[in-house]
């Protein structure tokens, strides 16, 4: 049975990882407890746990502050994640794709195709695309049949901006290219081509890390706020 502190921890972790609570922000117990609609007891337990996960720093007389992660920290996590998800893809292709999983993956592709069919990115389509993206990757990780793969991928997600929730929704060509990767990955899985499946997934995730590193200021900008700088380099998505 889940406890109130577990629920609070999950909510706060999500806010930190997707940038809802920005780096450097001090988490004051009273207003935060009111915002969450909980007492301070489960909140304190959640803050303590998130500090052990190194998502928060405890500062004397200031309390808990959201830890800052730099572009290089995020890219380092993507490098690890690329290797692990590549392994997951290789194992999945070796094991073979059951019909029901193949149907799930094809449904993800169809959803992405529908979202991108208009040739432009609508703000309201970001969340559905994110959800589709997570389902696609999670299905492949589960298909690997290796519980350690899933465990270590989840650990890389415990760093802000590394999970599948983070997609820079501003360049149609970039998102289109990323979704085309999904089509190529599924084709390799169905063909039971482990080497190609691994290479495609590794490149897919690795270049997502490069894209995020090169556009880190844009990721950190709050909604409606212009990033401090723009990078003219080619943009690469997840």
Residue 232 maps to a domain: no
CATH (domain of 32): 1.10.10.10
Residue 226 maps to a domain: no
Q: How far apart are CA 56 and CA 65, in angstroms?
A: 6
Closest of 135, 117, 116 to residue 126, by C-alpha: 116
Residue 238 maps to a domain: no
Report the predicted TM-score, pTM, of the whole model to 2 decimal places: 0.75
CATH (domain of 162): 1.20.120.530
Domain hosting 23: range is 4-66
Q: Are residue 201 and residue 126 in the same domain, yes or no?
A: yes
Q: How many domains does the chain have?
A: 2
Q: Are residue 101 and residue 197 in the same domain, yes or no?
A: yes
Given this model, what pLDDT does residue 237 score? 45
Residue 228 maps to a domain: no
Q: Are residue 170 and residue 214 in the same domain, yes or no?
A: yes
Q: Are residue 81 and residue 197 in the same domain, yes or no?
A: yes
Q: Are residue 102 and residue 209 in the same domain, yes or no?
A: yes
Given this model, what pLDDT does residue 231 score? 40
Q: Are residue 84 and residue 183 in the same domain, yes or no?
A: yes
Residue 229 maps to a domain: no
Q: Are residue 116 and residue 46 in the same domain, yes or no?
A: no
Q: Tell me the pLDDT of the chain (238 aa) as tens digits.
A: 778 899 999 999 988 887 788 888 999 999 999 999 999 999 999 999 999 988 999 988 789 999 988 888 888 989 999 999 999 999 999 999 999 999 999 999 999 999 999 999 999 999 999 999 999 999 999 999 999 998 998 888 777 777 655 577 888 988 999 999 999 999 999 999 999 999 999 999 998 888 888 887 776 655 444 444 434 333 344 4
Q: Are residue 165 and residue 150 in the same domain, yes or no?
A: yes
Q: Are residue 95 and residue 183 in the same domain, yes or no?
A: yes
Residue 209 maps to a domain: yes
Q: Are residue 155 and residue 83 in the same domain, yes or no?
A: yes
Q: Are residue 55 and residue 143 in the same domain, yes or no?
A: no
- From residue 74, alpha-carbon distances to 22, 66, 68, 201, 203 in Å are 15, 15, 11, 18, 16
Residue 189 maps to a domain: yes
Q: Are residue 144 and residue 174 in the same domain, yes or no?
A: yes
Residue 210 maps to a domain: yes
Given this model, what pLDDT does residue 59 score? 86
Q: How far apart are CA 160 and CA 226, in angstroms?
A: 20
């Amino acid at each position: 049975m889940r406890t109130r502190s577990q629920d609070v921890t999950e909510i706060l972790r999500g806010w930190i990882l997707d940038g809802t609570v920005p780096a450097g922000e001090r988490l004051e117990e009273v207003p935060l407890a009111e915002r969450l609609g909980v007492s301070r007891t489960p909140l304190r337990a959640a803050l303590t746990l998130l500090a052990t996960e190194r998502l928060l720093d405890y500062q004397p007389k200031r309390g808990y502050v959201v830890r800052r992660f730099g572009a290089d920290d995020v890219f380092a996590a993507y490098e690890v994640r690329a290797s692990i998800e590549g392994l997951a893809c290789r194992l999945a292709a070796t094991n073979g794709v059951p019909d029901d999983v193949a149907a799930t993956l094809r449904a993800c592709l169809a959803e992405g195709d529908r979202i991108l069919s208009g040739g432009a990115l609508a703000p309201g389509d970001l969340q559905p695309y994110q959800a589709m993206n997570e389902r696609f990757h999670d299905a492949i990780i589960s298909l690997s049949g290796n519980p350690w793969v899933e465990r270590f991928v989840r650990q890389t997600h415990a760093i802000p901006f590394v999970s599948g929730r983070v997609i820079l929704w501003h360049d149609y060509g970039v998102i289109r290219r990323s979704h085309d990767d999904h089509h190529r990955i599924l084709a390799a899985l169905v063909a039971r081509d482990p080497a190609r499946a691994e290479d495609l997934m590794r490149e897919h995730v690795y270049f997502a890390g490069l894209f995020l590193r090169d556009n880190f200021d844009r990721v950190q900008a709050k909604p409606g706020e212009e990033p401090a700088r723009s990078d003219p380099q080619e943009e690469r998505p997840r």
